[in-house]
Structure 1
Amino acid sequence: MPASSRLARAIVIALAASPTVTLAGTLDYSLYAGLEHSNNIALSSTRPMSENVLVPGGTFTFTQMGSTFQANVAGTFEYRKYLENRFDSQAQTQIAGQGNWTIAPDRLDFSIEDYAGVQPVDQLASDSPDNQQQTNVIVLGPTLRMRFGDAARGQFELRYINSYASRVDEFDSSRGLAAFRVFRDLSPTDQLSANVEFQRVDFDNQPNDANYDRKEAFVRYTSTLARFNADVMVGGSRLEFDGGRTTSAPLARVSIGWQPTPRNSLTLAGTYQYADAAQDIITTPGVFGTQTVSDRVEAIDPFVNTSGFGGGNAGISTGSAVIGSEVYKEKRGEAIWNWRAERWTVTVSPSFSKLRYIDDQTFNQTDRAISVGIGYRLRPTLTLSAFGTADRLTYDSLDRKDTTVRLGLDLTQQVNRHWSWHVSVARDRRSSNAVGQDYRETAFFVGVVYRR
């Protein structure tokens, strides 16, 4: 059965198994439209093409914390019309969210998570419009809860996981997850848990020896204070491939947040684990990857990628995952420091990642990056922002090094409670020792936003 058919069937089963609920949560949304001009839309080193792009779209957040239904979902929908017809028009979606139905209070729940985004088709090529694809990972299943006294409780989880990519078939998979967890409340703010997980991974379009069993055991400590929070997981992973090979490694995920003063905040996150593209999309979508979905989903500013770190598209930027079935050992570290004053805001975010693939080592890579954003409020409703990113990506097996620098300015005015406008300019430059991978681009963007 095709992956799309299985996914549709899984959603129908989930909805049928879930109780009838009343959606009475909080819905916020924005609608936007913009016009982008690029002097090198395909990011080519030899044949730059100018293009004008019409970009209408919308963002939304939905939250509900009821006794029967709880949800936290954020999404962006965007349509990109290339006015010079150099590329086909594209409709793109970005969603991260979780819904939970309480079937029997403190006994049985049913949950659905979904992660949709845009990822590259070919990691080694530039981010041109024809090198983008839609990906989606859905997770759904029941949770059985139990209590062992006043301070301890346990839960048993069953999950069906489906991953799908619109252009790379090797990414498509079906997975089954079973987990048992025991939680102990150390204090009103601190919790310790012991966790055992078993996952079966079957790829739809790969040889059978690419399928594997994943076994993990770890302890997790969480602490939530007024100005400090911590989420620390330590354990081990073991992979058993159908081809007969077995490998194991330590497992660690850490996230720490600190707000020493009302104006300063610092977040640190690190990961050491076996992963593949689908698992990374679920567990490490950003610096808050070790938190739950309900903790990390926030309202999406449709122009965060223009005035913030990413630049480029109005609402949706292309990710950096290597979409496929390969398993790799991942080391990743990120930090975000944010400072706010009466008129100034400053954000600095360095990051580091190293991927080492188990089988095909073509994409073995080391990435070092830093992003800086500075905002100054010229008037109560007018803000000027400057942003810059620098990224050094090394492919060890290919002896390839790419250095990408992006600089830009953005001017934003809040006309009234509902309406605002943006004008921005960004300059991209990549230097690479690979033939044909250098490029330069200058992009201008103007757009308006209506917020509910």
Structure 2
Amino acid sequence: MLALPSMAQAARLNYELGAGLMHSDNIALRETGEISETVFSPRLRFDFEHASSTLRTHFRGDVQYLDYRHGTYPDDTRGEFAGELDWTISPERANFIVRDSLSRQSIDSLTAFTPGNQQQINVFEAGPSFHVRVGEAMRGQLDLRYTDSYAEETRTFNSNRYNAAARLRRDLGDTDRISFNVEATRTEYDQFSSLYDYERYDAYVNYGSRLAATEINLDAGYSRLEPQGGDRSSSALFRGQAAWQASPRSKLSADAAYQFADAAQDLILRVGDPSSPIDPGIGNPDNPNLQIVPDTFKQKRAGLGYEFTGTRLHVLAQAYRERLRYLRDAAFDQDNHGGALYARYELRPQLHLTLHALRENREFLSFDRDDRDATLGIGLASRMSRHWGARLDYQRRKRDSSVGGQDYVENVVALSFTYYR
């Protein structure tokens, strides 16, 4: 941990510098004609937090350079970033929010997530919030937001979004609150604007409760879409998250959604929702079901989670089921379900055995395609000293597809060394 000299009590910076060597027996993820490749990869990871009376920030990121030793793919630099800044302009009256999300996604989600089928996606959001107190227990809020979405390859995704939201919140006690919200959004795409530009209107009630062992957050209301080049659509809106600390070591969680959504909305939400705390070691798609397209979809989703934190064992299990129906192009309509298991066990002090297993089933309705993806990985992670660590990982990925030529099996071995600060 590194404390910045001028703000020793307010800032925290952790970073890792490392390098790894990875060997794949099927880097192109082909059914036949597999290509072996070795990749050398220097890497920087960082996590920065700062809090003061007027400014709160949290930035985390990962930058790596990929050197393909046999030249199967061009050498590349990749980055992932999620950041949030909250500047208090006037206490309890006005603040300014900035969020940014940079991630790796597929260019074509119907083909395997190979190095040649990846692109950087950036979603930037910024705007002020104005607050007013209405009595002792009620507050009003006005949010104004601008969002810019950019895709490295899929240029039809690039857009500008303008949002205004009015909220009236009332505290029901020390643990419960309720708010009434109305939002209006205008989305303008750089390309095919006459087809994809739309206005969206939402009205919903939010209820939140935080007790000693439980936490609940619910949205319920109504949404209406008014596309520039199509018919209006309307739907009920529901979003919910719940968590229960069943015991000092066990936590249960659940989430559900019934709403209109799109790729940019999905990506900006990841700023406040970091990935699994148990690092699998070898990268996988950030969201394999996300289509980087301008189309809006109706989402039905339900998920369950369980986390156990013991003296030596840490386990995280997740499962979900999801249905996506696109409003413009039914080609990406799909039903998905899957699950993930992450585990870390302390064999002895500073030596951990890690395990991850993922299963993803995707059924595309318009062209009768069913993909079944499975990933299994095991690793050893050693913290050799306060500043140095090493890791050895093995991972196997497999796809069974109903479409010919899309099956593959890949085995990967990776060795890395890291300096921690």
- Return the match for 2:146 from 160, 165, 176: 160
State the match for 1:344 in structure 2.
Answer: 313
Correspondence for 1:443 among 404, 412, 415: 412
Which residue matches 1:144?
130
Q: CA deviation at 1:374?
A: 3.1
Whole-angstrom CA distance in 1 between matches of 2:7 and 2:222:
41
User: What is the match of residue 426 of structure 1?
Assistant: 395
Structure 1: stretches of 5+ with no match in the other structure: 1-20, 286-292, 307-311
Match of 2:29 in 1: 43
Report the Cα offset of residue 41 of structure 1.
0.5
Letter in 2 for 1:70: R
- Cα distance in structure 2, aligned partners of 1:219 and 1:330: 19
Q: 2:179 aligns with which of 193, 206, 210?
A: 193
Q: Deviations over 1:151-172 (max 9, x none)?
A: 1111111111100000001110
CA–CA distance in structure 2, aligned partners of residues 416 and 271 of structure 1: 45
Q: Which of 231, 242, 250 is the matching residue for 1:245?
A: 231
1:22, distance to aligned residue in structure 2 (A): 8.2
Aligned mate of 2:353, from 378, 381, 384: 384
Quote how far apart the aligned CAs of 1:58 are.
Answer: 1.6
Write out per-residue CA displacement over residues 233-263 of structure 1, whole angstroms, 9 at most, x where no aligned residue: 1111100011251000111111111111111
Take 1:260 and 1:383, find their aligned partners in 2: how far apart are those partners? 26
User: 1:393, 1:338 → 2: CA distance?
Assistant: 25
Equivalent residue in structure 1 for 2:374, among 405, 408, 428: 405
Q: Give the TM-score, by structure 1 length.
A: 0.88
Alignment of 1:7-406 (within 5 A): 25-283=11-269, 285=270, 296-297=273-274, 304-306=279-281, 312-313=282-283, 317-320=285-288, 321-406=290-375
What is the number of residues matched between the two proteins? 414
Residue type matched to 1:319 in 2?
Answer: N
Between the aligned partners of 1:63 and 1:377, the Cα distance in structure 2 is 28
Alpha-carbon separation, structure 1, partners of 2:356 and 2:88: 44
1:198 is displaced (CA, Å) by 0.3
Give the superposition deviation at 1:207.
Answer: 3.7
Secondary structure of the equivalent of 1:261? coil
Moved more, 335-344 or 116-125: 335-344
Which AA in structure 1 matches 2:280?
Answer: N
**Residue type of the partner of 2:135?**
G
The aligned residue for residue 14 of structure 1 is: none
Taking the aligned partners of 1:60 and 1:131, their CA distance within structure 2 comes to 26
CA distance in 2 between partners of 1:386 and 1:62 (Å): 27
Question: Is the partner of 1:304 in helix, strand or coil?
Answer: coil
CA distance in 1 between counterparts of 2:230 and 2:411 reads 51
Q: Give the SS at the match of 2:245.
A: strand
What's the C-alpha RMSD, in Å, of the aligned pairs? 1.8
Q: Which amino acid aligns with 2:151?
A: A
Return the alpha-carbon distance in structure 2 between the equivalents of residues 254 and 76 of structure 1: 30
- Give the partner amino acid of 2:150: Y
Question: Which of the residues 385, 391, 406 maps onto 1:416?
Answer: 385
* Structure 2 unmatched runs, 5+: 1-5
SS at match of 1:305: coil
SS of corresponding position for 2:66: strand
Residue 317 of structure 1 and its aligned partner are, at CA, apart by 4.2
Deviation at 1:66, TM superposition (A): 1.2
Q: In structure 2, what is the Cα distance between the partners aligned to 1:446 and 1:415?
A: 15
Shift of 1:413: 1.0
Q: Equivalents in 2 of 1:363, 1:224: separation in Å?
A: 38
Offset of residue 226 of structure 1: 2.6
- Helix, strand or coil for the counterpart of 2:246? strand
> Counterpart of 1:324 in 2: which secondary structure?
coil
1-structure distance, mates of 2:255, 2:385 = 37
Q: Is the 8 A contact 2:280 2:377 kept in 1?
A: no
What CA deviation, in whole Å up to 9, does each residue of 1:4-53 have, x standing for no partner? xxxxxxxxxxxxxxxxx989522221222111100000101122110111
Percent of aligned positions that are identical: 35
- Call closer, same or farther: CA 1:244–1:372 in 2, change over 3 Å: closer
1:297-354 deviation per Cα after TM superposition (whole angstroms, max 9, x unaligned): 58x87x8132xxxxx32xx744321001011101122222112333223222111111
User: SS in structure 1 opposite 2:266?
Assistant: helix
Conserved in 2, the CA contact under 8 Å of 1:74 and 1:297?
no
Q: Are 1:132 and 1:318, in contact at CA under 8 Å, matched by a contact in 2?
A: no
Asked whether the equivalents of residues 312 and 346 of structure 2 are also in contact (C-alpha less than 8 Å), the reply is yes
Q: What displacement does 1:149 show?
A: 1.2
The aligned amino acid for 2:105 is: Q
Please name the residue that 2:3 is paired with.
none
Tell me if the contact between 1:376 and 1:383 (Cα under 8 Å) persists in the aligned partners.
yes
- Rounded Cα–Cα distance in structure 2 between residues aligned with 1:93 and 1:195: 35
Once residues 386 and 148 of structure 1 are traced to their aligned partners in structure 2, the CA distance between those partners, rounded to angstroms, is 52
Alignment match, 1:6: none
